[in-house]
């Protein structure tokens, strides 16, 4: 299970990073979202992978580590705020520059170096 | 205490010329002079103690952690230098008052001079090496200001830059050397360092320390091959040259050598390097002084040569040679300052410093001529001037030296060559300017520039020089009275008990040095007489100016820097991204090397089919969204599957709170991104080069691999957790059984407060960004098919209305149970936001706004205020910020219920989440309507704006 889990975080972050390296703002937003999934899963897994062990007192014998969960919960919400800001920034950039290239290149030419 | 007054007086003196310059030149100069003269008088009050060989100290702790103390001392060496700094400094300030033209900013100039004087005093008085270095750098900076005083001239700017670069670089080397000394000795206090000479010389760091300190000293004192900045510093106003570049600053390096002689001296490495560098500088400087045609250039190269002479004397190592070095420091300062001042007078009167265009000035300027001749004779080493005395001492020591064994004969020979050249350039200078007729005919138009107006300057300009010139003669005639006590106390400070008993006199009997002096004078005169031959010889030698090498090096360094900067910073964000990721990758990958084996000791859990399926879908979704990135909508849909499965993963691994949060955030952010697609281009961007894709794939894949390896390695290892505390304290301390929620609102409530603040700020930021947006509004898809005109589908509308109360009810339920069961303010807030959002989507912005007249920024702000007030509330009861309390109450109809202040805090969280989320989404949605945000409306209630 651990192998599977780390495989997923690896693939998620690899896809996220590939998208981060693209030249269009929307790809970057999607890439950041993927990367934050990966990071959240990674952080969350620091408490170990437990089944049927919600961190609620009285529900289970050995509850899972609640601290990474609390950290990741706020990370998800902050991540949403960040994504929202990025999205609006992308829209604004498009409006100002007339295109959605990260370097503000005019026209629809291909991604540059 | 009164020791500190000396530098304090001159430091205060920097302000005086700035304040008094408006009252006129004479007033400004005289008022500036007051403080240095008082300082000089103060200095003389120490004479009785100093003559007994005493050292006076005063110290305050400044930064004890660094070993930096505000410590000053006065000993014989300090006195010698302080006398030159204050004495010659005062004369030159007096001179400068007459030298500067009436329109120049004398206040600024004199203020710089006083700053420099302070810095120089600091160097010679510092009793702590770090303090000494601070003042050392201050001299570099103030000399930069002074050399570049005529900043409108490019040669002044270039000279100032060059001097700063060379002496600044040397200063850094010196700092490194001082730090190493402190490392070896364990203290930066001068008396500790001077007492630790044996320890330093035995240390394995000694060669490095010596090299660094010598680098500092040689750059400052313009020793070969770092001499080149000094002639270029002649672009400075002449008072600066007279003060900094003859008598004081260039002697700072020599001062340092003399000061550190007890700590670092008396080794073969010390003596060899000083002797060789000194000899080279002596001959080199003298040779170029003879070839130079600029009056100040001659003096500059001669200064270089004389500084080399002093360094040579320090390197010869015998006690008497050090006495001779100290004596020559004094003598050189006297005659060179005089010569510079008269060069300034000549320049002032004739408008040129080129000796080919000068000549026959004796009849016009007899007083200037006299003082130039007196000082020139001292420079040449003619008896009975002071220069003769120290030169005789040098010749004696050069003949007697035992350096370099059989090759040692080269030292007296080269010294003799230097002496011959020095006689020659001195005579040439005086003769060309005052006696020989001008070399007319070189250029015809020069005839028109006959300096007919040249005459002796006002008294103020020649009196300082005259005083110093007379002193040259008097010291030569009565050395035992005027100089010996001074030199003796300085020698005591440098050499301690080794300081020899010496006798300064003109006549030592007929001996080899006297013969050499005679030869030098004879050959020197011949050399001037046959100077045509000399120039033809000089023309044969390659002239490689060190300045060109310096400037070429600087240009090359700048080019390399520009090249590197352009490589790293070519304006492409993608390039930066790639570089950053690469460095992060390398750092992390290097860290992984420390793992002994990949799989840790904790063991693995079995894989089940459902997990396999889930993982497969996530991998597919992730790769799919990357693969399909050009088709934005497809990419987004792929992303959403990953998001949903992440939420399921949380469910699977016992994190219900996370699953709920992820799910509701997922809904909100998908709505947001689909909305965003409307404003972004629809057309897929072009493919990029395959090479580029390969590079990015490789980078991404290696990054993913490193993360996977890291995650796997961590998962298979047992980790120490601090969560025992939270689990055991959750119920008794926080009053809730849902530990995650208790952590959020109670244990780590302050963190949460920060986080909801960020959320609210992000919401506010989008307001500004959406303000006055220029829109690209497509009306159809890429194939040109128009979008449906039915904007609000009926089924959706009906369902949304039915769901709204249910959804709100659910959110209240989730909120209330949050403290004990999965749920809480964050999740409830997101559920509410999504439910309200659905109304906007179903019926449009206007319809909903009219029925829901809420200003979301106000909601978010209200939430923050509630959260903060809850925290502050605990202060009322004398507890720290955000201490929670709870109790169980009987409420009619509901029964026994727990009420906690944490619940209030959670209400704050809830409101902030609702406010911020809707602020972002509704605002974006409103952009296409007439209610788009403007600055004015952003703080008012949105619907009221719509009603107008």
Pairwise CB contact (< 8 Å): B704 & A73? no
A87 CB-side CA count, 13 A? 28
When scoring A7, A9, A10, A96 by the number of chain B Cβ atoms within 10 A, the one with the most, hence best to mutate, is A10
Query: Residue B700: what pLDDT?
Result: 94
Instruction: Indicate the pairing of strand B68-74 with strand B56-63.
Output: antiparallel
When scoring B620, B664, B680, B821 by the number of chain A Cβ atoms within 10 A, the one with the most, hence best to mutate, is B680
CA closest to A65 among chain B residues: B723
Kindly report the nearest CA distance between residue A16 and chain B, in angstroms: 7
Nearest to B707 by CA among A35, A64, A32, A1: A35
Interface A–B counts its CB contacts (< 8 A) at 332
Unique residue bearing structure tokens 């690899």: A14
Radius of gyration of chain B measured on its C-alpha atoms: 42
| CA–CA dist B245, B167 (Å, integer) | 13
Task: Closest CB to A15: pick one of B622, B652, B672.
Answer: B622
Query: Residue B98: what pLDDT?
Result: 85
Task: Closest CB to A55: pick one of B650, B652, B740.
Answer: B740
CA closest to B913 among chain A residues: A77
Q: Is B947 helix (H, G, I), strand (E, B) or coil?
A: helix
Residues of B in contact with A87 (CB under 8 A): 672-673, 676, 924
Query: Residue B169: what pLDDT?
Result: 92
| CA–CA dist A38, B625 (Å, integer) | 14
660-679 of B, contacting A, C-beta below 8 A: 661-662, 665, 668-669, 672-673, 676-677, 679
Question: Chain B within 8 Å of A35 (Cβ-Cβ)?
Answer: no
Classify residue B407 by its DSSP letter. Answer: G
Tell me the average pLDDT across A90-105: 84
Task: Closest CB to A113: pick one of B572, B686, B766.
Answer: B572
Nearest to B341 by CA among B421, B451, B237, B429: B237
Kindly report the nearest CA distance between residue A106 and chain B, in angstroms: 13
Pairwise CB contact (< 8 Å): A73 & B657? yes
Write out the two tokens for A56.
């609620």
Q: What percent of chain A stands above pLDDT 90?
A: 45
56-95 of B, contacting A, C-beta below 8 A: none
823-882 of B, contacting A, C-beta below 8 A: 826, 830
Residues of A in contact with B723 (CB under 8 A): 47, 65-67
Query: Residue B122: what pLDDT?
Result: 93
Query: Residue A113: what pLDDT?
Result: 38
Kindly report the nearest CA distance between residue B864 and chain A, in angstroms: 15
Pairwise CB contact (< 8 Å): B658 & A69? yes
CA closest to B609 among chain A residues: A1
CA closest to A55 among chain B residues: B739
Pairwise CB contact (< 8 Å): A56 & B622? no
Query: Residue A106: what pLDDT?
Result: 54
Q: Is B250 helix (H, G, I), strand (E, B) or coil?
A: helix
Write out the two tokens for B264.
């670092």
Give the sign of the dihedral formed by CA B47, CA B49, CA B54, CA B58.
negative
Query: Residue B861: what pLDDT?
Result: 93
When scoring A30, A35, A73 by the number of chain B Cβ atoms within 10 A, the one with the most, hence best to mutate, is A73
Task: Closest CB to B766: pick one of A41, A48, A85.
Answer: A85
Unique residue bearing structure tokens 């007096």: B94
On whether the CB atoms of residues B305 and B231 are closer than 8 A, the answer is no
Q: What is the ipTM of this complex?
A: 0.93
Kindly report the nearest CA distance between residue A65 and chain B, in angstroms: 6
Kindly report the nearest CA distance between residue B700 and chain A, in angstroms: 5
Residues of B in contact with A40 (CB under 8 A): 646, 662
The CB density around residue A86, as the number of other CB atoms within 10 Å, is: 19
| CA–CA dist B433, B429 (Å, integer) | 6
Task: Closest CB to A73: pick one of B636, B661, B672.
Answer: B661
Kindly report the nearest CA distance between residue B646 and chain A, in angstroms: 7
Question: Chain B within 8 Å of A107 (Cβ-Cβ)?
Answer: no
Query: Residue B943: what pLDDT?
Result: 44
When scoring B636, B653, B677, B709 by the number of chain A Cβ atoms within 10 A, the one with the most, hence best to mutate, is B653
| CA–CA dist B650, B473 (Å, integer) | 97
Task: Closest CB to A113: pick one of B575, B700, B714.
Answer: B575
CA closest to A60 among chain B residues: B654
Write phi, then psi, for B890 (nearest 5 degrees): -95, 115
43-102 of A, contacting B, C-beta below 8 A: 44-60, 63-67, 69-70, 72-74, 76-85, 87-92, 94-96, 98-100, 102
Residues of B in contact with A50 (CB under 8 A): 653-654
On whether the CB atoms of residues B534 and B293 are closer than 8 A, the answer is no
CA closest to A82 among chain B residues: B762
Pairwise CB contact (< 8 Å): A17 & B917? no
Task: Closest CB to B737: pick one of A56, A88, A108.
Answer: A56
- For every residue of B783-834, DSSP letters joined together read T-PBPPS--S-HHHHHHHHHHHHHHHHHHHHHHHHTTTSS--HHHHHHHHHH
Query: Residue B670: what pLDDT?
Result: 92
898-917 of B, contacting A, C-beta below 8 A: 913, 916-917
Low-confidence ranges of chain B (pLDDT < 50): 441-448, 937-948
CA closest to A9 among chain B residues: B708
Least confident window among A32-46, A53-67, B872-886: B872-886
Pairwise CB contact (< 8 Å): B723 & A12? no
Cα angle at B318 between B316 and B324, to 5 degrees?
Answer: 80
Residues of B in contact with A70 (CB under 8 A): 740, 743-744, 748
Classify residue B554 by its DSSP letter. Answer: H
What's the per-residue H, E or C state across chain A? CHHHHHHHHHHHHHHHHHHHCCCEHHHHHHHHHHHHHHHHHHHHHCCCCCCCCCCECCCCCCCCCHHHHHHHHHHHHHHHHHHHHHHHHHHHHHHHHCCCECCCCCCCCCCCC
Residues of B in contact with A13 (CB under 8 A): 703-704, 707
CA closest to A62 among chain B residues: B727
Question: Chain B within 8 Å of A105 (Cβ-Cβ)?
Answer: no
Question: Chain A within 8 Å of B448 (Cβ-Cβ)?
Answer: no
Kindly report the nearest CA distance between residue B753 and chain A, in angstroms: 10
Q: What is the pTM of this model?
A: 0.66
Pairwise CB contact (< 8 Å): B619 & A7? yes
- Cα-based distances in Å from B919 to B263, B622, B727, B913, B924: 72, 30, 36, 10, 8
Query: Residue B225, class by beta-carbon neighbours within 10 Å (0-12 exposed, 13-18 middle, 19+ buried)?
Result: middle
On whether the CB atoms of residues B82 and B117 are closer than 8 A, the answer is no
**B23-61 b/e (C-beta count within 10 Å ≥ 16 → b):** eebeebbebbbebbebbbebbeebeeebeebebbebbee
């Amino acid at each position: 299970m651990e192998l599977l889990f780390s495989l997923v975080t690896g693939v998620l972050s690899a896809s996220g990073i590939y998208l981060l390296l693209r030249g269009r703002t929307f790809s970057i937003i999607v890439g950041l979202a993927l990367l934050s999934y990966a990071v959240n899963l990674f952080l969350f897994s620091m408490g170990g992978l437990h089944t049927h062990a919600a961190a609620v007192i009285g529900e289970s014998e050995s509850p899972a580590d609640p601290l990474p969960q609390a950290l990741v919960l706020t990370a998800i919400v902050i991540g949403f705020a960040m994504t929202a800001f990025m999205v609006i920034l992308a829209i604004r950039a498009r409006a100002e520059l007339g295109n959605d290239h990260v370097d503000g290149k005019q026209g629809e030419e291909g991604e540059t170096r | 205490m009164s020791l500190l007054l000396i530098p304090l007086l001159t430091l205060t003196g920097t302000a005086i010329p700035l304040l008094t310059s408006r009252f006129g030149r004479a007033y400004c100069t005289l008022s500036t002079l007051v403080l240095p003269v008082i300082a000089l008088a103060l200095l003389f009050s120490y004479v009785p103690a100093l003559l007994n060989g005493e050292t006076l100290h005063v110290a305050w702790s400044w930064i004890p952690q660094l070993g930096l103390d505000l410590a000053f001392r006065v000993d014989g060496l300090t006195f010698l230098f302080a006398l030159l700094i204050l004495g010659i400094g005062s004369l030159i300030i007096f001179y400068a008052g007459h030298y500067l033209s009436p329109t120049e900013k004398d206040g600024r100039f004199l203020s710089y001079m006083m700053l420099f004087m302070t810095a120089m005093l600091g160097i010679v008085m510092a009793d702590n090496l770090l303090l000494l270095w601070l003042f050392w750098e201050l001299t570099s900076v103030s000399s930069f200001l002074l050399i570049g005083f005529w900043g409108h001239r490019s040669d002044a700017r270039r000279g100032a830059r060059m001097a700063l670069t060379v002496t600044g670089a040397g200063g850094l080397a010196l700092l490194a050397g001082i730090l190493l000394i402190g490392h070896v000795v364990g203290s930066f206090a001068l008396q500790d360092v001077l007492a630790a000479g044996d320890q330093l010389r035995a240390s394995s760091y000694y060669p490095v320390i010596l090299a660094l300190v010598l680098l500092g000293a040689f750059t400052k004192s313009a020793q070969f091959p770092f001499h080149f900045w000094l002639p270029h510093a002649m672009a400075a106003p002449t008072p600066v040259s007279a003060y900094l570049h003859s008598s004081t600053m260039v002697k700072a390096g020599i001062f340092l050598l003399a000061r550190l002689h007890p700590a670092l001296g008396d080794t073969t490495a010390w003596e060899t390097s000083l002797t060789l560098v000194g000899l080279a500088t002596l001959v080199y400087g003298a040779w170029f002084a003879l070839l130079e045609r600029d009056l100040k250039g001659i003096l500059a190269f001669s200064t270089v040569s004389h500084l080399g002479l002093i360094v040579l004397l320090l390197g010869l190592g015998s006690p008497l040679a050090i006495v001779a070095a100290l004596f020559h420091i004094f003598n050189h300062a006297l005659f060179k300052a005089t010569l510079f001042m008269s060069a300034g007078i000549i320049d002032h009167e004739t408008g040129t410093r080129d000796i080919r265009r000068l000549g026959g000035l004796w009849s016009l300027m007899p007083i200037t001529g006299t003082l130039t001749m007196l000082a020139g004779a001292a420079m040449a080493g003619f008896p009975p001037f002071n220069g003769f005395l120290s030169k005789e001492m040098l010749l004696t020591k050069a003949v007697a030296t035992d350096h370099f064994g059989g090759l040692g004969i080269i030292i007296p020979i080269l010294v003799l060559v230097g002496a011959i050249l020095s006689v020659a350039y001195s005579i040439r200078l005086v003769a060309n300017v005052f006696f020989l007729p001008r070399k007319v005919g070189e250029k015809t138009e020069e005839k028109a520039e006959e300096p007919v107006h040249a005459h002796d300057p006002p008294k103020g300009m020649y009196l300082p020089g005259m005083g110093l010139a007379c002193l040259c003669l008097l010291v030569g005639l009565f050395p035992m009275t005027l100089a010996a006590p001074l030199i003796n106390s300085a020698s005591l400070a440098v050499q301690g008990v080794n300081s020899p008993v010496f006798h300064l006199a003109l006549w030592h009997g007929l001996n080899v040095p006297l013969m050499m002096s005679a030869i030098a004078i004879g050959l020197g005169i011949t050399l001037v007489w046959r100077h045509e031959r000399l120039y033809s010889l000089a023309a044969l030698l390659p002239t490689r100016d060190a300045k060109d090498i310096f400037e070429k090096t600087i240009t090359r360094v700048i080019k390399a820097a520009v090249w590197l900067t352009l490589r790293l910073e070519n304006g492409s964000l993608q390039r930066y991204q790639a570089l950053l990721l690469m460095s992060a990758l390398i750092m992390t990958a290097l860290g992984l090397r420390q793992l002994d084996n990949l799989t840790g000791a904790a063991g693995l859990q079995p894989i089940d089919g459902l997990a396999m399926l889930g993982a497969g879908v996530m991998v597919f979704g992730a790769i799919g969204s990357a693969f399909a990135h050009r088709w934005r909508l497809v990419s987004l849909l792929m992303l959403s599957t990953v998001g949903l499965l992440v939420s399921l993963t949380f469910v699977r691994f016992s994190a219900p709170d996370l699953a709920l949060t992820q799910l509701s955030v997922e809904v909100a952010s998908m709505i947001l991104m689909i909305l965003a697609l409307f404003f972004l281009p629809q057309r897929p961007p072009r493919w990029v080069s395959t090479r580029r894709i390969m590079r990015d794939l490789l980078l991404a894949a290696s990054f993913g691999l490193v993360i996977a390896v890291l995650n796997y390695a961590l998962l298979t290892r047992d980790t120490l957790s601090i969560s025992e505390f939270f689990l055991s304290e959750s119920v008794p301390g926080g009053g809730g059984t849902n530990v995650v929620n208790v952590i959020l609102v109670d244990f780590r409530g302050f963190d949460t407060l920060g986080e909801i603040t960020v959320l609210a700020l992000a919401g506010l930021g989008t307001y500004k960004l959406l303000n006055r947006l220029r829109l690209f509004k497509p009306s159809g898809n890429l194939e040109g098919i128009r979008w449906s005109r039915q904007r609000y589908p009926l089924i959706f509308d009906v369902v949304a209305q039915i769901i709204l109360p249910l959804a709100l009810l659910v959110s209240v339920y989730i909120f209330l149970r949050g403290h004990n069961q999965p749920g809480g303010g964050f999740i409830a807030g997101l559920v509410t936001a999504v439910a309200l959002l659905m109304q906007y989507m179903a019926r449009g912005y206007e319809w909903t706004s009219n029925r829901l007249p809420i200003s979301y920024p106000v909601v978010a702000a209200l939430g923050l205020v509630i959260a903060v007030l809850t925290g502050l509330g605990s202060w009322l009861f004398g507890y720290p910020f955000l201490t929670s309390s709870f109790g169980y109450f009987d409420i009619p109809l509901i029964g026994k219920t727990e009420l906690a202040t944490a619940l209030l805090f959670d209400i704050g969280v809830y409101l902030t989440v609702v406010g911020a989320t809707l602020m972002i989404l509704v605002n974006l949605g409103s952009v296409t309507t007439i209610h788009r945000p403007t600055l004015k409306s952003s703080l008012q209630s949105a619907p009221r704006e719509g009603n107008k």
